[in-house]
């Protein structure tokens, strides 16, 4: 059995426990010794991070060879077109090579969405739209580069799920611990792109950010 922690990383928080420039980081929210992130999430992105003290499990989750799917909710600049979504589904050419086909769907604004601080800029004459995007690769800033490549720059990026684990019931800055069985359950993304929650776990109450 392994213990695993799901954390909903807020906007502009480093996905590490220290920062030489004094920026907000994981230690401002989680004070549990000997756990480490299984993968990273950009400073200007939000959503699910997984942490564990189990090195083998950390490797299974984070290593590209295992192709654990990650689903993102993406707010883009403009009303994304069907042809742009189709291009993402097929794979797009980036400066480091073509991407694998993604599970991509235009969606309504997610119901569980929380306000971002600071908010995304508002321009009355230019609409925005939302996309669910599931990928199995882990290139640097890949989702942002993919939407830009099809003509719709990313304004807000939220990782909704990793494999069978999601940010369901976790507010920004909250985390929960799970007890995981001996096998990692692989995730098969649905055509809807909606996060799926595994039942192979025991959920504890979410824990809020510690006071400074």
Q: How many CA atoms lie within 13 A of 173 on its CB side?
A: 12
Residue 108 known to be catalytic: no
Alpha carbon distance 147, 150 (integer Å):
5
Catalytic residue among 19, 28, 42, 54: 42
Alpha carbon distance 14, 36 (integer Å):
13
165 forms bridges with which residues in the sheet?
162
Helix runs in the chain, H state only: 55-62, 82-90, 142-149
Reference 100, options 133, 60, 132; nearest CA is 133
Contact 88, 104 (CB under 8 A): yes
How far lies 87's CA from each of 69, 82, 124, 148, in Å?
19, 9, 27, 12
Among all residues, which ones are annotated catalytic?
A: 42
């Amino acid at each position: 059995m392994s213990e695993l922690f799901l954390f909903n990383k807020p906007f502009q928080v480093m996905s590490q426990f220290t920062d030489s420039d004094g920026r907000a980081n994981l230690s401002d929210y989680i004070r549990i010794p000997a756990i480490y992130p299984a993968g990273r999430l950009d400073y200007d992105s939000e959503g699910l991070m997984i942490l564990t003290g189990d090195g083998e499990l950390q490797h299974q989750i984070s290593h590209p060879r295992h192709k654990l799917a990650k689903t993102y909710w993406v707010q883009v600049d403009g009303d994304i077109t069907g042809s742009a979504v189709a291009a993402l589904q097929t794979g797009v050419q980036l400066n480091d090579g073509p991407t694998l086909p993604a599970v991509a769907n235009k969606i309504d604004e997610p119901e569980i969405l929380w306000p971002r601080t600071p908010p995304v800029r508002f321009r009355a004459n230019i609409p925005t739209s939302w996309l669910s995007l599931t990928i199995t690769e882990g290139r640097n800033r890949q989702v942002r580069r993919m939407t830009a490549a099809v003509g719709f720059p990313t304004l807000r990026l939220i990782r909704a799920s990793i494999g069978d684990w999601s940010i369901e019931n976790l507010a920004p800055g909250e985390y929960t611990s799970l007890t995981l069985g001996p096998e990692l359950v692989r995730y098969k993304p649905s055509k809807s792109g909606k996060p799926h929650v595994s039942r192979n776990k025991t959920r504890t109450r979410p824990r809020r950010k510690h006071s400074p």
